Amino acid sequence: MKVNLYLNSVLGSDQATVSAMKGGTVEMAVMNSGILASEAKELAIFDFPFLFANEKEVDAIVDGPVGKKMHALLEAKGLVGLSYWEQGFRHITNSKRPINKVEDIEGLKLRVIPNPINIEWVKALGANPTPLAFPEVYGGLEQKAIDGQENPISVIAANKFWEVQKHIVLTNHQFNPQSVIFSKKIWDTLSSAEVAKLRDKMKPVIAKFSASVGDVTVNEMMAELAKLRK
């Protein structure tokens, strides 16, 4: 099976990607769960500011009944929610000044993901929200069209925002679970026989490394998996 996987803004926008998935042009994607509120309004809750206090709370919610319910809402829209990935809490960077107290955020022109919730929480802090597509963020920061932005550390580092941003404050203001989603149009064509073939091909690999891992550990793992699959 050849899977067309979307991981960034190749199609120009997240909504274009969702549309392509519904049509079957893109089979699989990973994106902020809140973006999928365009398909199921309930997923907008993942954009609520300061919703989660720590990673333990995040894991309990997204891996539990609530997370499963959220992804189940997507099926009627032509999407299958497979799992959630982590990208970490979001933090604020800017090129103007250090942020040591809430008042230091006032007046900053901050890029936000284009949706109403993000616009409102930035306004509530006295800053000026600037909705901007992600591919335009680095250029906007470099040209001083915007003062700052907010993203997880992994995104800030991967996109070298430190080159155009002097200050960062670890605000933990949002945690966007990343939804791993599949086109239902393609998903419905897949069969369990295909997965069975993949498992069969892996048996020699598992057998080869079982000795080095330890037969006791391997047997314990297989026994627990057998219980779960009953």
- CATH number for the domain spanning 155: value is 3.40.190.10
Most confident range (mean pLDDT) of 8-12, 88-92, 196-200 is 88-92
Residue 3 has a pLDDT of 52
Distance CA 104, CA 79 (A): 42
- The pLDDT value given to residue 141: 98
Of 218, 118, 131, whose CA–CA distance to 176 is shortest? 118
| Average pLDDT estimate for 12-27 | 88
Same domain flag for 181 and 122 = no
**pLDDT of 142-196, one tens digit each?**
999 999 999 999 999 999 999 999 999 999 999 999 999 999 999 999 887 787 8
71 is written with which tokens? 């992804």
Whether 97 and 199 share a structural domain? no
Considering the domain architecture, whether residues 78 and 182 belong to the same structural domain is answered as yes
Residue 94 · residue 110 · CB < 8 Å: yes
108 and 67 within one domain:
no
Domain range spanning residue 202? 194-228
pLDDT band at 5 (very low <50, low <70, confident <90, very high): low
How high is the pLDDT of residue 1? Answer: 44
Same domain, 181 and 198: no
Same domain, yes or no, for 71 and 182?
A: yes
Choose between 10 and 75: higher pLDDT.
Answer: 75
Domain match, 26 and 126 both: no
User: Do residues 23 and 51 both lie within one domain?
Assistant: yes
Structure tokens given for 78: 């032509």
Predicted pLDDT at 198? 85
- Concatenated DSSP letters of 142-169: HTTSSSEEEEEHHHHHHTTGGGT--EEE
Task: Judge if 122 and 112 occupy the same domain.
Answer: yes
C-alpha distances (whole Å) from 32 to each of 53, 74, 186, 230 are: 18, 14, 21, 34
